[in-house]
Chain A
Amino acid sequence: MFVDQLINGIVLGSIYALMAIGYTMVWNVLRFINFAHGEVYMGGAFVSLYLLLLDTPIWLAYLGGVCAGAFLGYLMEKVVYMRMRKAPKLNLLIAAIGISIVLQNVAQYIWGATPERLNSPFLSKNFTIADMEINQHYVFIIILTILVMIVLELFMNRTLMGKAVQAASQDINATQLMGINANKIISITFAIGSAVGALAGILVGPVFLVYPTMGVFAGLKGFTASVMGGMGNIPGAMIAGLLLGIIESFAAGFISSGYRDAVAMVILLFILLVRPQGIFGKIIQQKV
């Protein structure tokens, strides 16, 4: 029971962690919360589903979904947010909510509102370790999440472009004045964050099904995790996402599954009260 809940929690937490990365990366370069990020998660899952209907090989369908998610994120930045660079951040926030609702409706128009299961080559298989059965798709989710974290960490810290993204996160104007195209850095950030978000949606599709509003709650949890981890802190978002998933899973298992969200939110409130900068966040001094 304990180990079962732990594994469920890690799987759920992996999804939250992947989602949280998108929120935190966008926050880093634009200092706003992209509330349409949940729809990238949904969009990626739907595109994979659609590609499978066209008899695309499953890996290609997954990859297509990830690419479509990256493109969707890139597109919403280029078409909407980029035109609002000088607008108050509240305008971007409202625009994001608008995009989110529009995309949910577009998805419903194209694919309908009935939840559908995304195929997975592993879903019907189990690993048996000791006396326990572990679903192979769960293991797949965990492995892929770890892989994404490693790749992202390497990109951010070992590549020049990652360094430029970091610089832009810390002072975007100074970065631009050193000859770096800030718009390009912002586009890259959106594309990467969205690719990771779409991957989360695709990984969830075989377990929790695919439907137009699937991104709403996942988005909220990813956002929660990014705040818990300290907004703008990528490793913090990953760890907080995992923690949130594990806590929820234990709350569901040992209290009642009806209260899992409440427990998660109580913990969020507690963290915000005790450590407003998030578990791994630093207190950022405002520039004058």
Chain B
Amino acid sequence: MSIDLHNDSAILTIQNLSKSFGGVKAVNNLSFSVLQNNIHAIIGPNGAGKSTLFNLITGVIKPDMGNVQFLHQDITSLRPDKIAQHGVSRTFQNIRLFPDMTVFETVLIGTYQFTGGNLLPAFFRTKTFRNKESEAKERIEETLKFVGLWDVRNEYAAQLSYGNQRRVEIARALATNPHLLLLDEPTAGMNQKETQELMSLFSEVNQQGITILIIAHDMHLVYSLSNQITVINFGEKLAEGPPEVIQNHPAVLEAYMGRAETHA
């Protein structure tokens, strides 16, 4: 990563963020910061506004109020592709792959911003273009080997196992060269083994200097993986702190005890 930042500085700062759908306040005056190099978890009951928060950060929807700052730059009003180019990438709650693309092609899309865009250099295959292209191919190979999908690179992504489909999504996101990776319930529906393997993948991603913001329901995962947790309910911040604090936080216990299950 080329950007020089202290480990304790904020990579993402959310200030007074609000978004309503009809009369429902999905996100309500929410403020928090994600520190550089952290694995920061967002937890909260279903419908707490977690996915809306991700959509606001990535620019898919625009807030009614408040702002989002990434690397000390206001990205609130930017288009989703611009935000991605700033270094925010994501996976989706329901895995979203390109149904007719191979694993390699899917990850190629993640590198497009570095190579594509201009038709003429691509058409005439200028030297700069060819250099960029081979760089991109190297990065794709590196990324696919990193997530363990290099051997299935020519298979259709949508035909892989559920766990591997998630890996393709992660590889595609990593190919955009992000500073911050948003993971929306990445282990939902995975079996024990797949969950364990993904968790160690997330740690490895984090060790490469990529900050992770993760939505999860699996408390075991949250407590063992993250070093900072923000609890939200009804779009508002309920509590914040490291796992050992959140584990025994009265407001958190109350919010979760209020439901039939203690965790999903």
Contacts and interface: CB of A to CB of B under 8 A. Distances in A.
Contacts of B173: 178
A164 B112 contact: yes
Interface of A: 159-161, 163-164, 166-167, 170-171, 173-182, 184, 188, 287-288
Interface stretch (B26-34, B89-97, B200-208, B255-263): B89-97
A182 B79 CA distance: 10
B196 to A, nearest CB: 27
A171 B116 contact: no
A166 B100 CA distance: 9
A178 B58 contact: no
A159 B118 CA distance: 11
Contact of A167 (B98, B113, B122): B98
B122 A176 contact: no
Q: Is the interface of A mostly helix, strand, loop or mixed?
A: helix
A186 to B, nearest CB: 12
Contacts of A171: 96-98
Given A167-B98, A170-B98, A161 B109 contact: no
A176 B105 contact: no
B245 to A, nearest CB: 33
A176 B80 contact: yes
User: Which of A179, A180, A182 neighbours the largest number of chain B CB atoms within 10 Å of its CB?
Assistant: A179
Contacts of B232: none
B27 to A, nearest CB: 19
Contacts of A288: 94
A163 B176 CA distance: 16
B79 A176 contact: yes
B112 A179 contact: yes
B54 to A, nearest CB: 10
B222 to A, nearest CB: 24
Given A160-B112, A160-B115, A182-B81, A177 B98 contact: no
A287 B96 CA distance: 9
B122 A177 contact: no
B102 to A, nearest CB: 11
Contacts of B175: 178
B81 A164 contact: no
17 contacts: A160-B116, A161-B116, A161-B119, A164-B112, A167-B98, A170-B100, A174-B96, A175-B109, A176-B79, A177-B84, A178-B84, A178-B89, A178-B112, A178-B173, A179-B110, A182-B81, A287-B94
B81 A163 contact: no
Contact of A176 (B81, B115, B116, B133): B81
Nearest to B119: A161
A179 B85 contact: yes
B58 A180 contact: no
B101 interface: yes
Given A161-B122, A177-B84, A180-B113, A167 B101 contact: yes
A11 B238 CA distance: 69
A182 B175 CA distance: 18
Contacts of A178: 81, 84, 89, 109-110, 112-113, 172-173, 175-176
Given A161-B122, A179-B81, A188-B119, 10 more contacts: A163-B101, A163-B105, A170-B100, A170-B101, A171-B96, A174-B97, A177-B58, A178-B84, A178-B112, A184-B117
Contact of A174 (B92, B100, B116): B92
B22 interface: no
